[in-house]
């Protein structure tokens, strides 16, 4: 019988909160500029052949492209950090709050990649109820309700956080929700008043995505800083066997 070695191999990974945040901000700025350029190409109805390819690759309003996958993986990274904090907080009174946050960000990551929320965009409802242009994207109505419920349920949890973490969580939430809900509603108004193919509407889309990505970066920094206050290191063990 082959003897399984009990020797362990260390593969240290050093995560510096400020360094990661800086690099992510650079990535966000690059994606925002590329997205703005792709929107400009779309506005000009693709002045040269490669511009359409560039638009499909970097459009901030598109799916299954580089900005969408970046946002999906950054949200997935948030869920991984939340999972690590949940493992530490297993005996904490707010353990279930951390665990729920972990599942919420798993869903947000999948939604960013596959746009599940667009199922709630129902043109017939919008037309029959004569919904105000701010609710042009009908999914923002249940979205706003869920955000309100979440804020109410998590108020005590948020107040119990350390001052720095509480402050960063609030900024991240305000910036992210301003993009996902606020600018989505403004975008509906702009689309009705100025049309889909207009400079001001496209500017609203760029601002919306920039706020979303920036909010995620702030949250990642907040989670890393908070985690470092709890533990200086995390041991992740992977067991590999033939069977």
Quick one: pLDDT band at residue 128, thresholds 50, 70, 90?
low
Three-class SS of 159-178: HCCCHHHHHHHHHHHHHHHH
**Residue 1 banded pLDDT, cuts 50, 70, 90:** very low
Q: Does the pLDDT at position 5 exceed 60?
A: no
Residue 118's pLDDT is what?
60
CA–CA distance, 107 with 101 (Å, rounded to integer): 10
* CA dihedral sign of residues 183, 185, 189, 194: positive
Read off the pLDDT of residues 83-97 as tens digits, 9 standing for 90 and up: 999 999 988 899 999
Instruction: Dump the DSSP string for 188-210.
Output: HHHHHHH-SSSHHHHHHHHHHHH
- Cβ count near 110 (within 10 Å): 15
Using CA of residue 138, residue 63, residue 24, residue 237, what is the dihedral sign? positive
Mean pLDDT of 17-24: 94
pTM for the model stands at 0.88
Average the pLDDT over 217-224 and give the result.
96
Select the more confidently predicted residue: 75 or 131: 75
What average pLDDT does this structure show over 25-29? 97
CA distance 111 to 172: 19
Q: Express each pLDDT in 148-169 by its tens digit.
A: 999 999 999 999 999 999 999 9
The stretch 20-27 carries a mean pLDDT of 96
């Amino acid at each position: 019988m082959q003897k399984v070695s009990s020797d362990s191999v260390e593969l240290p990974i050093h995560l510096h909160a400020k360094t990661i945040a800086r690099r992510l901000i650079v990535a966000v700025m690059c994606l925002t500029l590329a997205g703005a350029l792709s929107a400009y190409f779309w506005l000009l109805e693709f002045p040269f052949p490669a511009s359409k390819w560039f638009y499909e690759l970097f459009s901030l309003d598109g799916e299954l492209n580089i900005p969408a996958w970046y946002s999906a993986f950054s949200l997935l990274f948030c869920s991984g950090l939340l999972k690590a904090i949940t493992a530490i907080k297993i005996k904490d009174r707010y353990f279930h709050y951390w665990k729920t946050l972990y599942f919420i960000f798993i869903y947000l990551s999948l939604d960013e990649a596959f746009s599940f929320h667009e199922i709630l965009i129902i043109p017939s409802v919008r037309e029959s109820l004569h919904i105000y242009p701010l609710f042009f994207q009908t999914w923002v109505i249940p979205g706003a309700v869920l955000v309100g419920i979440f804020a109410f349920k998590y108020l005590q949890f948020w107040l119990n956080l350390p001052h720095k973490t509480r402050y960063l969580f609030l900024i991240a939430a305000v910036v992210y929700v301003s993009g996902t809900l606020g600018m989505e509603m403004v975008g509906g108004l702009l689309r009705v008043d100025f049309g889909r193919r207009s400079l001001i509407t496209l500017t609203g889309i760029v601002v919306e995505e920039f706020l979303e990505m920036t909010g995620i970066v702030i949250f990642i920094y907040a989670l890393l800083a908070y985690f470092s206050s709890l533990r200086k290191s995390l041991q992740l063990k992977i067991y590999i066997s033939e069977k």
